[in-house]
Structures are given as structure tokens and as C-alpha cells.
Amino acid sequence: MSSNISRADLNSRLKDLEKQLSNEKLLVADPDAVLQKAEELYSMSGSHETFKNWRQIAAYRLGHILFRESDLGSEALERIADPFQEAIGDARDPTGATGFMPILYKIAANFRLSCLDDERSSEFQGQNRQLFEQAINRWTHWKQKTPHGEPVLQSNGFNCLEIIAYFTSQDYSRLSGREATSSRGESWCLLSNRGHGEAVLLSKTFAHAELETNLRLTKSAFGLRQVDRQGNWQWRFGDEDWQTWEAAERANILALGLSNPETSNPEIARVIGNTTEAAKQAKSRLVKQLKKLLSKAGSQSMEFRNLCEQDAEIPVFLAIEARLLKASR
């Protein structure tokens, strides 16, 4: 980056990039793009000597993204510990730009390193004792001296789950997406026949963002999304534009099939609030509608269950309000 860029322009660009990263790091898909943004933010934050706070925040974000990888060895953990140390800043600072959370993550990295390197185990344990005291002091200061009680980087509950995952080498993908739930209590989910497992509850914004990302990364995929609570839906295939989907009930049936390919007609009837025979006919019309829309895909098995089963011939991603997956009566 040019050294001639003004402080105001750099500050604006850092804010935009950090906002993008804060959103995208919560998504399940495309972790490589998230890491690239984290590294870009970190690099950009070091381009102006007066941006100490930005550098600490960028280091904190980068450390998080790096920690999510599986099977981390000593070298990788050392690389992770460094940005968290940078995020901590001056040990004499009672607050720090990022508060006490980076200290806990640094402790997690040290603990993992101590388990892998017997010769340096006592060294890491000694560091952690000092770091723990520093974390307590900073937490106490934030609780007593700041207007909001503590720095808000993420909710404390979610942070604790992350720390446990980092300490004990758990699969981070089990947490992916779970911090994206709306504070307003709305619950949406992304369903798919591509190995997503259980439906993770998200905000509408993040459910749609996950959908877009998966469609972009998956060749010749079919996407269906609920637009609003009035029953409006849109569909798209591959790189085409979004188009209006006319039958909300059929979209709901497809969602039920993706959530469980074994869903029976009576179960579908209970959720959509209709008779079993009506549910059976609606499912048949859904298959015909999909067969017409996806004729260009050349699918050989356009049966309802075939379409909903994991690793089906045509990838399907669907964003829907969670309430529509539950019985209406």
C-alpha cells in the first residue's frame, strides 16, 4: 500500500475491511477467503505507525482465523501465539485495545504447545501463570472502570466455547455459524444435500449470505430462499439471476425433505397444515416443477428422496425460517 495514503482514508479502509471480516468469519463456507481478508487487514494495519489499536485488533482477528485449522503442530501454534501476543499489547496497560480475551487465547495456544514440546513445557506453563494474572487484572479493570463493563468483540458465552475448542483440539466446524444468530431472536437456517448435518440457527442476513457463498463455490447448484415472512420465495440455478418461485408450500416441502429425507407424507401434512393426500399431491407437483426448472442439468434421478439425500446428483441449498419446519397444528 502506498505510504502517501491519508490517515483518514486508511482509517476508513480499515473499518470497511474489518466489518467485512467480522461478518464473513462467522460463515461456514469459504474459509480461505476469510483467512485472506484477515491477513490483508493485518498487513494494512501495519502501514501507519499511529494505528497501534488497529494493529492489535487485526492481530486478534488473524489469530482467531488461524486457530480454526485442524491438526495444528508446534510451528503452526507458534504462529498463532504471535498475533495473540501482539493483540495483548503492553502488559502494563490496564485495559488494552482488545481487553482481556486475547490473553485467554494466548494461554490456549501456550497450553497446546506445552503438550507438544516436553522440553519447553515448564516455559509455557510459567508464561501462562503470568498471562492468567494479567487477564484477571484487565477483566477487573474493564468491569469497574469502563462504561460498558467490558470490550465487546464477541459474546462471552461464544468466546468460552471457542476457548474450549482451542484448548482441547475440538473440531471448530461444530461452532461455525453459531455466533451469527440475530439478537432480535429471529431464527433461520441453511439446509442442503451437501453434508451440512444439523441445521444451525442463523439470522436471516447470515442464512442468505451462507446460501450465496455456497452457490458461488458449488458448480451447477440449485438455490431456493425465503424472501420474507409473507411467503415470497426466489430460486436460482448456477450463475443465473434470482427468479420468483410461485409455490411457497412446495418450497416448505423441499425444506422438510432436506432436513430429513425420511420425512413421511403424514409428517409433511402436519407441518404444512393440510391432509396427507394434499401433501402427497403437492410433493408430486414439486418434483415436476423442479424437473422443468433443472432440465438443463440433465439429471437422471429427479425423485423427491433422491434429490434430498446427501451427495445427490444436483447440489441443493435452501434458506428458510426455522418456524416453517415445525408442525403448525
Q: Could you read off the pLDDT of 62-116 as tens digits, one per residue?
A: 998 898 887 899 999 999 999 999 999 887 777 777 778 888 889 889 999 999 9
Give yes or no: residues 136 and 191 share one domain. Answer: no
The answer to the question of residue 135 being in a domain is: yes
The answer to the question of residue 25 being in a domain is: yes
Would you state the cell numbers that stand for residue 320, as one nine-digit string?
428458510
Give yes or no: residues 290 and 311 share one domain. Answer: yes
67-73: long-range contacts, CB 8 A cutoff, minimum separation 24: 67/105, 67/108, 67/109, 67/162, 67/166, 67/172, 68/31, 68/172, 70/169, 70/171, 70/172, 72/112, 72/169, 73/116
Q: Which of 261, 283, 262, 260 is nearest to 272 (CA)?
A: 283
46-54: long-range contacts, CB 8 A cutoff, minimum separation 24: 47/1, 47/3, 47/5, 47/10, 48/7, 48/10, 50/7, 51/10, 51/11, 51/14, 52/89, 52/97, 53/97, 54/11, 54/14
Pair 125, 136: CB distance under 8 Å:
no
Cα–Cα distance for residue pair 155/142, rounded to 1 Å: 15
DSSP state of 95: S
Average pLDDT over residues 253-261: 91
Average pLDDT over residues 157-172: 68
Give yes or no: residues 131 and 227 share one domain. Answer: no
The last residue of a domain, from among 174, 201, 222: 174
Give yes or no: residues 22 and 155 share one domain. Answer: yes
The last residue of a domain, from among 174, 207, 238: 174
The last residue of a domain, from among 122, 157, 174: 174
DSSP state of 276: H
| pLDDT given at position 257 | 92
Give yes or no: residues 223 and 316 share one domain. Answer: yes
DSSP state of 309: S
The answer to the question of residue 41 being in a domain is: yes
User: ∠ CA 127-128-133 to the nearest 5 degrees?
Assistant: 105
Q: 3-class DSSP state for residue 310?
A: coil
The answer to the question of residue 252 being in a domain is: yes
Give yes or no: residues 129 and 241 share one domain. Answer: no
Q: How far is CA 275 from the centre of its chain?
A: 38
Give yes or no: residues 229 and 250 share one domain. Answer: yes
The answer to the question of residue 257 being in a domain is: yes
| pLDDT given at position 22 | 65
Provide the Cα torsion 202, 260, 221, 69; round to 10°: 50
Cell 470490550, residue located: 151
Give yes or no: residues 165 and 194 share one domain. Answer: no
User: How many domains, the chain?
Assistant: 2
| pLDDT given at position 151 | 47
* Mean pLDDT lowest among 184-188, 237-241, 244-248: 184-188
Please tell me which residue, 33 or 276, carries the higher pLDDT value.
Answer: 276
Give yes or no: residues 90 and 138 share one domain. Answer: yes
**For the segment 288-313, what is each residue's pLDDT rounded down to a tens digit?**
888 888 876 665 556 888 788 888 88
Give yes or no: residues 309 and 196 share one domain. Answer: yes
Give yes or no: residues 243 and 113 share one domain. Answer: no
The answer to the question of residue 88 being in a domain is: yes
Please, what is the average pLDDT of the chain?
Answer: 79
Domain limits at 97? 7-174
Strands 201-202 and 243-245, sheet pairing: unpaired
Give yes or no: residues 144 and 203 share one domain. Answer: no
Average pLDDT over residues 250-260: 92
The answer to the question of residue 2 being in a domain is: no
The answer to the question of residue 1 being in a domain is: no
